[in-house]
A = this chain, B = another copy of it.
Amino acid sequence: MRAMEEKILSAGKILPGDILKVDSFLNQQIDADFLFGATEEFYRAFAGCGVTKILTIEASGIAVAFAAALHFHVPVVFAKKAKTANMSKDVYCSKVESYTHGCTYDVTISKEYLSENDRILIVDDFLARGSALGCLIDLVGQAGAGLVGCAIAIEKQYQGGGEELRAKGVRIESLAKIAAMNEKDGIRFC
């Protein structure tokens, strides 16, 4: 069994509403040593693809993206969910729908940090319906950068977002891929 799968079984909790709570090592408390070790798998998968930059979205994507970046020795760029006073007005912008928060919000990234010369690996903590990932892919497209692929900590395969993107030709590698999950029977991995 893979490291992320073992960690989910030992430290994750299934909550009502199809929620997998991994707050104890990924989302609010972050097991830094574990995450650094686990993300080496991303490097094995995408080494040799010429990755120049890792792209993620705040806030919960930052730790896993940072861990991955230490293996690739490239910078992380993170998309922001709200414009801030000290961000350049020269931004790429896309929209993302959050099922967790029940709203749609703008996501922006300064044009300074994504260019047509970049080869981008997108990294995120979760992939479910693919809304956040679709938004990040859109930002990469707006910049004219190359998309190497997507590296995901936990994919809820049964929610279909990953399959939809793979059908469009996007390469996605996930550290754990959940085929089914419920409070009674627990988790079944792909």
Q: Could you list which residues of chain A lie within 8 angstroms of chain B, going by C-beta atoms? A: 15, 17, 19, 21, 23-25, 28-33, 35-36, 58-59, 62-63, 66-67, 69-70, 73-78, 80, 84-87, 100-102, 109-110, 112-113
Contact = CB atoms under 8 A, between A and B. Distances in A.
A4 to B, nearest CB: 16
A105 B79 CA distance: 21
Nearest to A63: B66
14 contacts: A17-B85, A28-B80, A29-B75, A32-B69, A32-B73, A33-B69, A33-B70, A33-B73, A58-B58, A59-B59, A59-B78, A62-B66, A63-B63, A85-B101
A35 B70 CA distance: 10
- Copies of this chain assembled into the complex: 2
A187 to B, nearest CB: 16
Contacts of A63: 62-63, 66, 76
**Looking at chain A's contact residues, is the secondary structure mostly helix, strand, loop, or mixed?**
mixed
Q: Closest 3 A-B residue pairs measured CB to CB?
A: A32-B69, A58-B59, A59-B59
Contact of A66 (B66, B84, B112): B66
Nearest to A114: B29
Contact of A32 (B32, B58, B70): B70
- Of A21, A30, A36, A87, the most chain B CB neighbours within 10 A belong to A30
Contacts of A110: 23, 28
Nearest to A100: B85
Nearest to A36: B70
A21 B86 contact: yes
A75 B36 CA distance: 12
A52 to B, nearest CB: 12
